[in-house]
Structure 1
């Protein structure tokens, strides 16, 4: 018969073995877990202009032509209506950004009829809208200070101030926490090339691209204020640069011509390294080690030769990227 000490020792060994097997099983499961799958957008959410995500992996995507915002829950391959077209007095939806600190989904809503995109409602003007990140309830509706304006993309200062690119004017707008109206944060003729994607770098400065002219800029930021605008040299020409997000020590950025690229900054130079080409990408977001790219294919909307022809399919594409 075993002694009490021998029984205790044997029991402890079995527990260690069970824990070891459980750990091995979890590591194996992680190693063989399937990669994130592409999402085919529904017919009611064509021409996505922007994409954002939460840390848990919920995706949100806008529609420049039909308005509204769709949501894709973590692990799902289907998009569901989150903000219906026209809801919250929205119109054509452009940039979207999830702010988990305030539980807010920021959405750019625009009357883009003057560029041939009437959208789903008759609301005039350009707005930055804030919706509850979980329920979709409208929280904020801040108009642009003048016309024409197109609220295009959004980035956040540490204090929660929203900085917005106005692609219809050479300027950046801001909405302070609790504010009710967008105001000019920076105006500079150098941004006349269609200020578009923007993101804050690890240095605390704001980086901005221009869609039409293919330029890349740094805005020096001191105590929340824009102090200096510098045009950066790019390692290769940019063709319709659009959405970008922070990634490691730099950014992920898409261009309408196709590339998803990693952008790194060295002094006044931006090195642009293409990772993969997509079909008319307009936005990118990062969930863990997966980049999600929305293929907006906006060229279809402005090509008279395609008028009346069936719309293409639209996807949110998943691409594994190197962890940073």
Structure 2
């Protein structure tokens, strides 16, 4: 082959190899979290693929830009935060919602001694703390957040059978739904395509649908899902949701009226959080069992975010 024919071929090969390498760099299958941000609890993402991750033990919020390295974006203790649980990026408002709670009752001190549980609001560009809303009940742990069709923020209280709704005009969180049937540890929540709210219980392994009309709860129903093992974070996708279970499963939940189908699509190490970024599902391996009395003296494991394609 002449130099005139080989040069374009080599250039095309170089472009092709560079393109493939670029994709591999931009979409790693896993991300190792730094030692200063262990025990991830929840995660969220923005349209450009940036990830935000909380820390159950140390607090603060980690940020990972596409193709970049993990960085502590909100330092532990910032804006009077303690242990950080649920996080949710709200690009329409330009804010990051963060659940901050005192979980010292189960032996997790966090970065300071601030009591109570709060829903915190941070500027999504600067990371500056803007507003803080205290949960009204004495026994409260703000766990996770969802934005409803009405634009309001809804949160679960994992320590009491309460779903709360933010009244921004009044500047306070109000109990939106409470019932003893929800005592199983309210955790992940997300709104479905039908406009209703779906919420799971971590301890009892249940899934409920709350019928919503004009922003008000009009009753709820426990759905027949079969056994769930410590269901945690949950995010909406077309036709239903993706959720992680502390037993290891990443599951797709398909909902058609009262019919629910759950399909395992991945297995991880004690996952706690999940988010969907484009056509990729990211899972946070919280491994919170290592905070228990039985394992607290064992060597601390590595903590990862891991990715699988959304099919």
Same fold (TM over 0.5): yes
Does the CA-based 8 Å contact 2:104-2:110 persist in structure 1?
Answer: yes
| 2:244 maps to 1:265 | no
Q: Secondary structure at the match of 1:183?
A: strand
1-side partners of 2:224 and 2:229: how far apart? 14
Unpaired runs of 5+ in structure 1? Answer: 1-21
CA RMSD, 1 decimal = 2.1
- Please give the residue correspondences for 1:237-316 in structure 2 after superposition, counting only pairs within 5 Å: 237-302=227-292, 304-316=293-305
- For residue 33 of structure 1, give the secondary structure of its aligned residue in structure 2: helix
Matched ranges for 1:69-218 at <5 A: 69-76=61-68, 78-218=69-209
- Residues 28-39 of structure 1: pairs in structure 2 closer than 5 A: 29=19, 33-34=23-24, 35-39=27-31
User: Could you tell me whether the CA contact under 8 Å between 2:289 and 2:295 is conserved in 1?
Assistant: no
TM-score (norm 1): 0.88
The runs of 5 or more residues in structure 2 that have no matched partner are: 1-11
Q: Is the 8 A contact 2:38 2:58 kept in 1?
A: yes
TM superposition shift of 1:31: 11
Tell me how far apart the structure 2 counterparts of residues 87 and 97 of structure 1 sit (CA, whole Å).
Answer: 17
Partner residue, 2:52: 60
Q: How many pairs align? A: 298
Tell which structure's C-alpha radius of gyration is larger: 1
C-alpha displacement at 1:178, in angstroms?
A: 4.4
1:317 pairs, out of 303, 306, 309, with 306
Residue 232 of structure 1 corresponds to 223
Matched residues in 1 for 2:88 and 2:100: separation? Answer: 13
TM-score calculated relative to the size of structure 2: 0.91
CA 1:178/1:80 → structure 2, altered by over 3 Å: closer, same or farther? farther
